[in-house]
Amino acid sequence: MAEFSYSARDREGTKVEGRVTAPDRRAAFAQVERLGLTPVSLGEAGAATSSKAAKTEPAKKSATPAARGGKRLAFGKGARAPKLKLREMLILSREIRDLLSSGMTLSEALSTLAAHQNNPAAGQIVTALRDRIIAGSSLSGALTQWSDTFSPLYISMVRSGEASGDLTGVLDRVCLHYERVMAAREKVIQAMIYPMIIVVVGAATTGFAMIFVVPRFAATFKSLNAALPLPTLMLINGSNFLIHWGWLLLIFLVAGIMGFRKFIRTPKGATWWHGRLLKMPLAKQIIASDAYAQFARTLGVLMANGVPVLQALSIVEETMGNKVLAAEIREARNRVTDGTSISGPLAAGKVFPPLLTQMLAVGEKTGDLSAALGHIARRYDEELDRYVKIFTSMLEPIMILVMALVVGFIAVSLLLAVFSLTSALKI
């Protein structure tokens, strides 16, 4: 038997320290949970009065779960660690929150999820999390192994929930935050669905006409050996180019898209592209409103959970999708001198809108910055809805007009040639 010292929180959030005697860390962890406590840390304090050989063997056994967890986290050479999409991560977080709310301990909740998990990636993560928790790790410490799935914001909030003893409440706020983030993403995606359908259908129709329809008319016109109008000649030459050199055009197009995607994944390219997005007609209001709402919502959640201002700004910078705004947040964090006021440093960069920084300043004056950030997030969520409706209502007729002009040019060019040949035959 070995003696373990623990640090834990009771249901009221009060820190409790003590010692338990158990054969290994797993059993010690379970004993602490049976006391109605949430373990924060667990370490071996000493050995009970048994032989030295007997003491060594439990130590080896206690290391076994951690060792097995370490092998599981490595996932083999060349293998990629499992990663969850935003929706899958949100579902997993809801399940953990619901099980904790029902009165289960964290290890019991993870064991239950591991036994009934249908998603293979989520099953691997939950199983490894359970093993690390039983081995004495905190949940926030264990989550750092999956930084691609759990963001710094997520881990910081979990850490604050462990410190306050209110992990269930924090997970509830985490779920609410990511539900709003996912809803904002879906609004932007839905705004692009209809225009993309129009573009694909229009391009397919134009390609079919240029490759299969126009050559038939061109053969007829050639057999009649008549002079053709300029639009018709342009159309026939374009059709011949697509038929004979279309494959080369397709290669250049695919290579250009791949090269552009590779460029915007570099730091310099991403900054350039995100700057262009913030100036792009029609789309800039949607992108900016989404980014401002995300900034305010994320910072507000962190501030409400007691995260210091400078650390919160650092986390917000990492979670921002737009590199231009992320760089401005980093500059604002460097300009913060007193550690509390952020409205002035943000306003100095002149990237964030004056209304946002002024509402932040009001929140700082009243001493309720998290509530002010909540108002800012709601305001820009409403603006996002409005701009999405404006974007779709304006883009649909524009796309229809463009495709009508292309198809109309093909039809008019062919009709002009038909009228010209008809007039020649009458003469």
267 versus 43: the higher-pLDDT residue is 267
**139 has pLDDT over 80:** yes
Q: What are phi and psi of 21, to 5 degrees?
A: -110, 130
Give yes or no for residue 178 having a pLDDT over 90. no
Report which of 256, 225, 221 is spatially closest to residue 235, judged by C-alpha positions.
221
- pLDDT > 70: percent of the chain: 85
- Looking at residue 259, its pLDDT comes to 93
Q: What is the DSSP-derived secondary structure letter of residue 150?
A: S
Summarize pLDDT for 329-361 with one digit per residue, the tens.
888 888 775 555 788 888 887 888 888 888 888
Amino acid at 363: G
Structure confidence by residue, pLDDT tens digits, 19-66: 888 777 767 777 777 676 766 667 776 543 333 333 333 333 333 333
- Sequence-separated contacts (24+) of 312-321 with Cβ below 8 Å: 313/342, 315/152, 315/153, 315/156, 316/153, 318/151, 318/152, 318/153, 319/151, 319/152, 319/153, 319/294, 320/291, 320/294, 320/295, 321/291, 321/294
Structural contact between residues 350 and 373, judged by C-beta atoms closer than 8 angstroms: no
Domain boundaries, the chain: 2-74, 151-427
Helices (H) and strands (E) in the chain, counts: 17, 3
Whole-number pLDDT of residue 49: 37
- Identify whether the C-beta of residue 8 lies closer than 8 Å to the C-beta of residue 40: yes
Percentage of residues in the chain having pLDDT higher than 90 = 3
Measured on CA atoms in the order 213, 217, 223, 229, is the torsion positive or negative?
negative
Q: What is the pLDDT of residue 254?
A: 93
H-only helix segments in 265-283: 267-277
Q: Are 130 and 110 in contact (CB under 8 A)?
A: yes
| CATH number of this structure's domain 151-427, picked from the four choices 2.40.30.10, 1.20.81.30, 3.90.180.10, 2.60.40.10 | 1.20.81.30
pLDDT value of position 44: 76
Distance of alpha carbon 113 from the chain centroid: 24
| Model pLDDT, residue 252 | 92
Nearest-angstrom CA–CA distance, 331 and 341? 14
Residue 50's pLDDT is 38
Cα 291 → chain centroid:
12
